[in-house]
Structure 1
Amino acid sequence: MLSTSALLAATTAHTVAHAGHWGHGGFGWWFIFPLFWIALIVLFIVGRRRGQRTEHRQAAEGVLRERYARGEIDETEFRQRLEVLHAAQRR
């Protein structure tokens, strides 16, 4: 039968041996999973916003083309406003 000191020494050795497995309080690999999901959510939000901007720009160009087709604005004004829309898109 093991004495109390031998049992304590065996338990301590077992605990020390397994502490290296978890990095003894270090990060390990567990932090990658939350970072992956955060990055995925951020990419989804950025993609949605970019898509919404494209839709707004296309709608604005459509209104501008309709006004030109109805004769409300001339070709010079149409091209100037179209250039302004494209310049805003590049920013």
Structure 2
Amino acid sequence: MMYWNGDGGWADSGAGYVLMVLGMLVFWGAIIAAFAFVLRQPSRQDRSAGGMVPAHRTAQQVLAERFARGEIDETEFASRLATLHGQSPL
């Protein structure tokens, strides 16, 4: 009767166990990296709500942002907005 007691192959030398451990580390590392990648991606709702900066802003948007930050006052905002729309300033 023959028994499988090892014949000097990879399992007896320990190389099989090392490869198994390395394979599991690569496998779980790939799973964790994929999970982290998915969590870091902005959702569609975030992108549409301003999660990403638009490539081109209009002059009116820039003016409104300056007014919102307090860089210009209401009269200057109204005057510049009227100029943008082709009307005479107040």
Q: TM-score, normalised by structure 1?
A: 0.37
More helix by share: 1
Query: Relative contact order (alpha carbons < 8 A, sep ≥ 6): 1 or 2 greater?
Result: 1
TM-score scaled by length of structure 2 = 0.38
